[in-house]
């Protein structure tokens, strides 16, 4: 564990906390939260509504000192959730260690959603590296299923033991390798009737995206936001790009391909832009707009695929 000026800690601790009953959840969560409060450390809890009620009752008056949110409403997209964790640290970094109890929501997710969230769980080891966040991610073994539990041990370097101690995870996997394994699953095939254009100017990229968005019935504000997302993705890849767009059930998809040797970072855009410009800053904006944004290093080039909900889905939500 390293400290910098003023006692600011710069070691990210990332633990999986497995539990199979309400008592096991409280046996992990209460010591972790109470120890943090006793040390004067900021504590954030984001879990299910049921677990929030259990924890609040167990903490009593101390519950009022905890920052909390229901997981289902805390970062609907993975990039939003990762950025929220990072901002919480930045707001409280001067106080030293920051504790976060963060339970992912798995129930009701599609197979693609599950992979996207597992990728984020692994990516947090990179995104929050150098922070003083101590994070425990609870996994309810009654609902998570064996596959999710196995991957939890691969995406977390440590396993929580009673909320106070930890032991190394025997199957922890380097994030680059784990995310690479996630990306072996091919993206859905591009339909033959997709609109296509090879574009060498960013202004033309926005025009193409806007035209397709309007043709597929996106509301004006949604179309404008999608144009921004596609523009930033093309800027990250570099021009020229081959752009394809099509509609799938409930969403509009844009695929950008740069057919040259370009280094692509699958985690680009997961952290908010800072004072100094970095490659991929614009992708942070794109990730806030799109439900999915996949970056794939492929033979002969790099691909970015964006997916945004159509206006019909938005109106019925």
Same domain, 204 and 291: yes
Distance (Å, rounded) from C-alpha 174 to C-alpha 157?
9
Domain range for 56: 3-182
Q: What is the domain-level CATH number for residue 71? A: 3.40.50
Same domain, 128 and 160: yes
Could you tell me the two tokens for 200?
Answer: 């060498």
Same domain, 269 and 147: no
- Give 35-56 pLDDT, tens digit per residue: 999 999 999 999 999 999 999 9
* 188 in any annotated domain: no
Same domain, 90 and 170: yes
For residue 120, report the phi and psi dihedrals to the nearest 5 degrees: -65, -40
Return the pLDDT at 55. Answer: 98
pLDDT < 50 positions in the chain: 1-7, 313-317
Same domain, 158 and 124: yes
Q: Are 65 and 93 in contact (CB under 8 A)?
A: no
- Give 112-153 pLDDT, tens digit per residue: 999 999 999 999 999 999 999 999 999 999 999 899 999 999
Where does a domain end: 160, 182, 204? 182
Segment (H or E) for 19: strand 13-19
Same domain, 48 and 86: yes
SS3 letters across 92-159: HHHHCCEEEEECCCCCCCCHHHHHHHHHHHHHHHHHCCCCCEEEEEEEECCCCHHHHHHHHHHHCCEE
Return the pLDDT at 313. Answer: 46
Helix ranges (DSSP H) in the chain: 22-38, 49-59, 78-92, 111-127, 145-155, 175-182, 202-215, 220-237, 281-289, 311-316
Return the pLDDT at 254. Answer: 99
Return the pLDDT at 2. Answer: 41
Same domain, 177 and 209: no
Same domain, 125 and 221: no
Q: What is the domain-level CATH number for residue 201? A: 3.30.565.10
Same domain, 161 and 291: no
* 133 in any annotated domain: yes
Segment (H or E) for 9: strand 8-9
* 189 in any annotated domain: no
User: How many independent structural domains does the chain possess?
Assistant: 2
* 187 in any annotated domain: no
Q: Are 209 and 245 in contact (CB under 8 A)?
A: yes
pTM of the model: 0.89
Same domain, 155 and 216: no
- 13-19, strands of its sheet edge to edge: 67-70, 43-47, 98-102, 133-140, 13-19, 158-161, 165-168
Same domain, 151 and 12: yes
Distance (Å, rounded) from C-alpha 261 to C-alpha 276?
26
Distance of CA 314 to the CA centre of its chain: 22
Give the N- to C-terminal CA distance of the chain in Å, as an integer.
46
């Amino acid at each position: 564990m390293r400290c910098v000026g003023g006692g600011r800690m710069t070691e990210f601790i990332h633990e999986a906390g497995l539990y199979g009953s309400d008592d096991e959840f409280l046996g992990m969560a209460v010591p972790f939260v109470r120890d943090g409060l006793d040390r004067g450390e900021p504590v954030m809890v984001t879990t299910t509504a049921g677990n929030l009620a259990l924890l609040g009752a167990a903490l009593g008056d101390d519950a009022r000192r905890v920052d909390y949110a229901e997981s289902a409403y805390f970062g609907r997209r993975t990039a939003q959730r990762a950025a929220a964790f990072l901002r919480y640290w930045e707001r409280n970094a001067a106080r030293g260690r920051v504790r976060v109890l963060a339970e992912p929501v798995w129930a009701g997710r599609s197979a693609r959603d599950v992979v996207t969230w597992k990728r984020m769980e692994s990516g947090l080891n990179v995104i929050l590296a150098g922070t003083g966040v101590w994070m425990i991610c609870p996994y309810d073994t009654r609902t998570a299923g064996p596959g999710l539990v196995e991957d939890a041990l691969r995406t977390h370097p440590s396993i929580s033991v009673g909320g106070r101690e930890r032991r190394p995870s025997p199957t922890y996997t380097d994030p680059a390798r784990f995310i690479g394994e996630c990306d072996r699953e091919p993206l859905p095939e591009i339909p033959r009737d997709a609109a296509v254009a090879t574009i060498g100017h960013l202004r033309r990229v926005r025009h193409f995206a806007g035209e397709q968005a309007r043709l597929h019935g996106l509301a004006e504000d949604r179309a404008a936001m999608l144009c921004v997302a596609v523009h930033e993705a093309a800027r990250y890849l570099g021009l020229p790009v081959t752009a394809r767009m099509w509609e799938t059930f409930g969403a509009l998809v844009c695929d950008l391909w740069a057919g040259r040797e370009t280094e692509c970072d699958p985690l680009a855009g997961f952290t908010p832009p800072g004072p100094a410009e970095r490659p991929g800053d614009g992708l942070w904006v794109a990730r806030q707009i799109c439900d999915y944004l996949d970056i794939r290093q492929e033979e002969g080039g790099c691909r970015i695929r964006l997916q945004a909900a159509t206006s019909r889905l938005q109106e019925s939500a």
